């Protein structure tokens, strides 16, 4: 991609060896932009599917480079040549709208370290001022790919998608001169940069909506981050029906008090009640608030602040995104500790909403063969011809190879769709549900889980956002394997205090509130453990001794602090030492926003009741039926599963079962047949023949008569060969053979029976009379010779 630069005559090359990637998946299907008239009337639009203008890429010829730019209104973004050299490009004020006719307008290109923070932004520092470096440069270093190559699209089953709602408050709108387009472009640039960051974790950030409060604030926004966050999350939940999202982030033009520039709940991604954060826009450049938002979203993903030894990058080289210190708001990378915490969060059942692939057929920005996403009119899309490695897809025209049924996805194997019912995603915990291929689509269905409020953990917990939450699990997480909940008296005595060490959270004014007796088990968690300190980073034990009868109980709580800011107990996450929302706090009771409430408000029981005892309710309030029962209500026989997750039993999986049953049936019939023969329940005439006589040919039966010889029937079997007789033992091989028995007389066949009555019917109507003497004579005739008895003894 080539784009004009300041004087209109020079160009800069932004394309790498594999070509630039438009980031059209940044804006999800159904993407809406919302604003308000001066009178407060709500306005919305879905932008045209043409002219998409957001790009990720690399600088041509520089493997260690990285680019995230937009061309929507001039060229703007961040260009990192390597770990130490980065440039910011943006249009000058007169170039605010390059869509107008005429020559290209001037742009500014300058080193990233030249960018200065906005006056009045939070004065963060990292202890030693000698190591202070401009924040934009730190973010620029983060744009450099870790292994010297830009991130490519990951279409594997591990890719995750965050459908994001991004909101600008009225102060942010005024900060941009009440310019709706300017505010909109700032937020889109922020989203593009955050998406670039999270690609390293196989996470894509796609906007489902962008809202600007152009008339007034629609919640109370103040310098108190806690009250602002609480109000914003409540507002977001009310929007879910009209504008569904996995996560919502508020960007405010107000500076929070103290040193806080953002706040977000921990381990809250996908929660209807807590998935979101608030971020102060503290820099003229979009890279500043983008770094803050990436950090706060990291808390939603279950990432806590980096502990000692986690970050391999020095502060002067940019630091890490999840660093506890805020002196470098534009850090470099996610590190191994962050990735380990993310895996743990996802493995415990968190982030269930992230696995549904957005419908890219209607993706904003227009369609193009080679962008790596399957769209209308395409049979497949494996990316550009230079990057396509699929043996199933023609990269030049996005059509399937001859004989191929599919090209991508976990439900596609060797260019063929997997059978319906084949598991494509195993459950990650007791509250997760498996998903199955449907035999029609190449991708796995969205991730489904048990409805909030379903019991789990042997009755010790409740499912909430796909996780089984219990006091036992949280104590082990905080204190190690021997951690377990303290007696109820610990929760009551400690949490009634209403201070930083014992509380039920903060009110809208940011003040600690003491717990009522019924809510005590929803405040600061109290555990019993022999460990010297909690396992959580920057956490210290808060021990309280409570006397219960004649014994003393050591109640162990936790307090999380920020290095260098011990006097500021606000932090940028909701207290990880609090009992998590969704945790069981009593019989039929669940913690919700610091209160112990009856779990019936989640209506899990009502939902599961419609499944007729043959299934459980999923998060879409549909029945997930046990194997053998059919959705939607599990009241009829079927394959199991739900209308969402696909069938449990595949047609292919039934074939081995049927083969085993058929084999067992044949074996049973063979045994019954041999038993009947041994007891003379078949025609005695055939039973009393010697085995040797079966090797003799019998005369051809008379024309029109059915053969009555077993041998004749055997000869008609296709491919039949008589097995060879076993060799004699050595002591018998030299003996004289037993005298051959005389051949039976070759008698003519009997006449054909008269009438249509079959021999079997005649036998049933006139059974043969076989005496005991006849049977004994038959046995004597079949008995082996003395030599034969010795040989087989």
E strand or H helix that includes residue 167: strand 160-168
Cα three-residue angle 330-332-333, rounded to 5 degrees: 125
For residues 386 and 18, the answer to whether their CB atoms sit within 8 Å is yes
How is residue 469 written in tokens?
């939450």
Looking at residue 605, what is its pLDDT? 87
For residues 581 and 593, the answer to whether their CB atoms sit within 8 Å is yes
Whether the predicted pLDDT of 450 surpasses 70: yes
pLDDT band, very low/low/confident/very high, at 786 (cuts 50, 70, 90): very low
**Residue 295 known to bind ligand:** yes
Most confident stretch, 7-11, 125-129, 556-560, 564-568: 556-560
Looking at residue 158, what is its pLDDT? 67
Q: Give the separation between CA 48 and CA 122, rounded to whole angstroms.
A: 38
Looking at residue 712, what is its pLDDT? 38
Whether the predicted pLDDT of 151 surpasses 80: no
Point out the catalytic residue in the list 163, 189, 296, 375. Answer: 296
Looking at residue 389, what is its pLDDT? 86
SS3 283: strand
Looking at residue 715, what is its pLDDT? 41
Q: What single-letter DSSP state applies at residue 740?
A: P
| CA R_g for the chain | 38
Looking at residue 593, what is its pLDDT? 84
Taking only the tens place, the pLDDT of each residue in 733-772 is 444 544 555 555 555 655 555 545 555 555 455 555 545 4
Looking at residue 506, what is its pLDDT? 82
Whether the predicted pLDDT of 660 surpasses 60: no
Q: Give the separation between CA 283 and CA 553, rounded to whole angstroms.
A: 51
Q: What percent of the chain has pLDDT over 90?
A: 33
How is residue 686 written in tokens?
């055939």
Whether the predicted pLDDT of 246 surpasses 60: yes
Q: Give the separation between CA 569 and CA 225, rounded to whole angstroms.
A: 12
Look at 300 and 381; give whichever has higher pLDDT.
300
pLDDT band, very low/low/confident/very high, at 130 (cuts 50, 70, 90): very low
Whether the predicted pLDDT of 88 surpasses 50: yes
Query: What mean pLDDT is predicted for residues 113-140?
Result: 37
pLDDT band, very low/low/confident/very high, at 174 (cuts 50, 70, 90): very high
For residues 616 and 450, the answer to whether their CB atoms sit within 8 Å is yes
Instruction: Cite the DSSP H helix spans in 480-523.
Output: 488-495
SS3 412: strand
pLDDT band, very low/low/confident/very high, at 127 (cuts 50, 70, 90): very low
Distances (CA, A) of 790 to 731, 777, 778, 781: 9, 22, 21, 18
Using a CB cutoff of 8 Å and minimum separation of 24, what contacts does 36-44 make? 36/212, 36/213, 36/214, 36/215, 36/216, 37/214, 37/215, 38/215, 39/215, 40/215, 40/216
pLDDT band, very low/low/confident/very high, at 146 (cuts 50, 70, 90): very low
Distances (CA, A) of 246 to 141, 162, 237: 29, 6, 11
Look at 74 and 483; give whichever has higher pLDDT.
483
pLDDT band, very low/low/confident/very high, at 255 (cuts 50, 70, 90): very high
Closest to 188 measured CA to CA, from 359, 30, 275, 68: 68
For residues 492 and 517, the answer to whether their CB atoms sit within 8 Å is yes
Helices 135-143 + 180-198 axis angle, to 10 = 50
How is residue 302 written in tokens?
């279950």
Give the phi and the psi of residue 72 in degrees, each rounded to 5: -65, -45
How is residue 327 written in tokens?
């002196």
Query: What mean pLDDT is predicted for residues 495-518?
Result: 89
Look at 112 and 144; give whichever has higher pLDDT.
112
pLDDT band, very low/low/confident/very high, at 572 (cuts 50, 70, 90): low
Q: Give the separation between CA 334 and CA 305, rounded to whole angstroms.
A: 11
pLDDT band, very low/low/confident/very high, at 780 (cuts 50, 70, 90): low
How is residue 275 written in tokens?
């998935």
Dihedral (C-alpha) 471, 475, 476, 479: value to the nearest 10 degrees? 180
Q: What single-letter DSSP state applies at residue 27?
A: E
**Residue 56 known to bind ligand:** no
Q: Give the separation between CA 222 and CA 369, rounded to whole angstroms.
A: 47
Those residues whose C-beta lies under 8 Å from the C-beta of residue 261, and which sit 6 or more positions away, are: 121, 122, 124, 279, 280, 282, 292, 326, 329, 572
Pairing state between β 107-111 and 86-91: antiparallel
E strand or H helix that includes residue 614: none
How is residue 236 written in tokens?
């977001």
- Identify the weakest region by mean pLDDT among 154-168, 238-252, 548-562, 624-638: 154-168
E strand or H helix that includes residue 32: strand 27-36
Q: Give the separation between CA 98 and CA 170, rounded to whole angstroms.
A: 26
Q: Give the separation between CA 611 and CA 433, rounded to whole angstroms.
A: 16
pLDDT band, very low/low/confident/very high, at 41 (cuts 50, 70, 90): very high
Q: What single-letter DSSP state applies at residue 110?
A: E
Looking at residue 790, what is its pLDDT? 40
Looking at residue 176, what is its pLDDT? 94
Looking at residue 204, what is its pLDDT? 87
pLDDT band, very low/low/confident/very high, at 395 (cuts 50, 70, 90): very high
Q: Is 33 a catalytic residue?
A: no
Query: What mean pLDDT is predicted for residues 448-466?
Result: 91
Question: What is the overall mean pLDDT for the chain?
Answer: 74
For residues 464 and 582, the answer to whether their CB atoms sit within 8 Å is yes
Look at 70 and 178; give whichever has higher pLDDT.
178
- Identify the weakest region by mean pLDDT among 455-469, 613-627, 759-773: 759-773
Q: Give the separation between CA 397 and CA 379, rounded to whole angstroms.
A: 9
pLDDT band, very low/low/confident/very high, at 386 (cuts 50, 70, 90): confident
For residues 525 and 581, the answer to whether their CB atoms sit within 8 Å is no
Looking at residue 241, what is its pLDDT? 87
Taking only the tens place, the pLDDT of each residue in 661-700 is 567 677 777 776 666 555 444 343 333 344 444 444 444 4
- Identify the weakest region by mean pLDDT among 129-138, 334-343, 605-614: 129-138
Helices 180-198 + 286-300 axis angle, to 10 = 50
Whether the predicted pLDDT of 485 surpasses 90: yes
**Residue 299 known to bind ligand:** yes
Range 636-666 burial, b when 16+ CB lie within 10 A, else e: eebbbbbebbbbbbbeeeeeeeeeeeeeeee
Those residues whose C-beta lies under 8 Å from the C-beta of residue 778, and which sit 6 or more positions away, are: 684, 687, 688
Q: Give the separation between CA 208 and CA 212, rounded to whole angstroms.
A: 14
Looking at residue 269, what is its pLDDT? 94
Closest to 233 measured CA to CA, from 268, 186, 190, 209: 268
Looking at residue 479, what is its pLDDT? 93
Residue 425 burial class via C-beta count within 10 angstroms: exposed 0-12, middle 13-18, buried 19 and up:
buried
The number of beta carbons lying within 10 Å of the beta carbon of residue 314 is 11
Whether the predicted pLDDT of 544 surpasses 80: yes
For residues 596 and 580, the answer to whether their CB atoms sit within 8 Å is no
Whether the predicted pLDDT of 438 surpasses 80: yes
Distance of CA 195 to the CA centre of its chain: 18
Give the chain's length.
Answer: 793
Looking at residue 614, what is its pLDDT? 93
Whether the predicted pLDDT of 164 surpasses 90: yes
Looking at residue 562, what is its pLDDT? 59
pLDDT band, very low/low/confident/very high, at 542 (cuts 50, 70, 90): very high
Distances (CA, A) of 451 to 3, 381, 616, 624, 631: 51, 35, 8, 10, 16
């Amino acid at each position: 991609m080539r784009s004009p630069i300041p004087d209109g005559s020079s160009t800069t090359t932004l394309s790498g060896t594999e070509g630039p990637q438009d980031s059209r998946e940044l804006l999800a299907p159904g993407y809406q932009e919302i604003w308000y008239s001066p009178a407060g009337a709500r306005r919305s639009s879905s932008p045209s599917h043409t002219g998409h203008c957001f790009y990720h890429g690399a600088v041509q010829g520089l493997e260690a480079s990285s680019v995230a730019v937009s061309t929507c209104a001039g060229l703007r973004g961040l260009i990192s040549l390597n770990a130490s050299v980065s440039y910011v490009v943006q249009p000058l004020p007169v170039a605010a709208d390059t869509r107008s006719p005429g020559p290209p307008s001037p742009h500014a290109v300058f080193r990233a370290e030249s960018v200065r923070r906005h006056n009045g932004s939070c004065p963060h520092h990292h202890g030693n001022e000698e190591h202070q470096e401009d924040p934009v440069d730190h973010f620029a270093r983060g744009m450099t790919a870790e292994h010297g190559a830009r991130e490519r699209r990951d279409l594997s089953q591990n890719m995750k998608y965050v459908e994001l709602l991004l909101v600008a408050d009225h102060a942010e709108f005024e900060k941009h001169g009440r310019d709706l387009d300017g505010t909109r472009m700032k937020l889109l640039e922020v989203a593009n940069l955050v998406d670039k960051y999270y690609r390293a974790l196989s996470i894509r950030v796609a906007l489902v909506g962008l809202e600007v409060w152009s008339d007034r604030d629609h919640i109370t926004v103040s310098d108190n981050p806690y009250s602002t966050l609480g109000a914003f999350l409540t507002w977001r939940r009310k929007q879910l029906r009209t504008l569904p999202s996995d996560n919502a982030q508020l960007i405010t033009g107000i500076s929070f008090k103290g040193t806080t520039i953002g706040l977000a709940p921990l381990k809250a991604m996908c929660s209807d009640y807590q998935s979101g954060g608030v971020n102060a826009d503290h820099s003229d450049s979009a890279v500043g608030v983008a770094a803050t938002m990436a950090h706060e979203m990291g808390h939603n993903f279950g990432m806590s602040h980096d502990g000692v030894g986690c970050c391999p990058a020095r502060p002067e080289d940019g630091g890490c995104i999840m660093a506890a210190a805020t002196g470098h708001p534009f850090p470099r990378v996610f590190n191994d500790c962050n990735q380990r915490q993310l895996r743990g969060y996802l493995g415990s059942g968190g982030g269930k909403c992230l696995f549904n692939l957005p419908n890219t057929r209607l993706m904003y920005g227009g369609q193009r063969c080679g962008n790596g996403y399957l769209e209308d009119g395409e049979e497949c899309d494996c990316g550009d011809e230079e990057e396509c490695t699929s043996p199933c897809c023609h990269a030049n025209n996005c059509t399937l190879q001859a004989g191929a049924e599919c090209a991508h996805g976990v439900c596609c194997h060797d260019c063929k769709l997997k059978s319906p019912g084949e598991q494509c995603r195993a459950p990650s915990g007791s509250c997760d549900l498996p998903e199955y291929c449907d035999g029609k689509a190449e991708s796995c269905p969205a991730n489904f889980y048990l409805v909030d409020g379903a019991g789990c953990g042997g009755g010790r917990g409740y499912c909430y956002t796909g996780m089984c939450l219990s006091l036992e699990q949280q104590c082990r997480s905080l204190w190690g394997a021997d951690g377990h909940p303290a007696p109820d008296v610990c929760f009551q005595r400690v949490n009634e205090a209403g201070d930083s060490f014992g509380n039920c959270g903060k009110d809208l004014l940011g003040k600690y509130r003491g717990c009522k007796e019924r809510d005590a088990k929803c405040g600061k968690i109290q555990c019993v453990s022999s460990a010297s300190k909690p396992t959580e980073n920057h956490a210290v034990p808060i021990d309280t001794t409570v006397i219960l009868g004649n014994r003393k109980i050591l109640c162990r709580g936790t307090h999380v602090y920020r290095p260098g800011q011990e006097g500021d107990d606000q932090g940028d996450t909701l207290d990880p030492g609090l009992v998590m929302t969704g945790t069981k706090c009593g019989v039929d009771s669940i913690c919700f926003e610091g209160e112990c409430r009856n779990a019936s408000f989640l209506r899990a029981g009502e939902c599961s009741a419609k499944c007729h005892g043959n299934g459980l309710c999923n998060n879409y309030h549909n029945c997930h039926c046990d194997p053998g029962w059919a959705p939607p209500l599990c009241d009829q026989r079927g394959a199991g599963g739900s209308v969402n997750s696909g069938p449990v039993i595949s047609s292919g999986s039934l074939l081995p079962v049927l083969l085993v049953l058929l084999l067992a049936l044949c074996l049973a019939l063979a045994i019954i047949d041999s038993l009947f023969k041994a007891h003379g329940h078949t025609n005695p005439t055939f039973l009393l023949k010697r085995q040797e006589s079966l090797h003799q040919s019998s005369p051809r039966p008379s024309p029109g008569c059915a053969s009555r010889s077993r041998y004749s029937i055997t000869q008609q079997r296709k491919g039949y060969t008589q097995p060879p007789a076993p060799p004699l033992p050595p002591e018998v091989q030299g003996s004289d053979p037993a005298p051959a028995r005389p051949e039976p007389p070759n008698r003519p066949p009997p006449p054909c029976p008269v009438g249509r009555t079959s021999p079997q019917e005649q036998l049933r109507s006139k059974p043969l009379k076989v005496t005991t003497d006849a049977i004994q004579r038959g046995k004597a005739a079949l008995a082996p010779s003395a030599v034969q008895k010795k040989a087989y003894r």
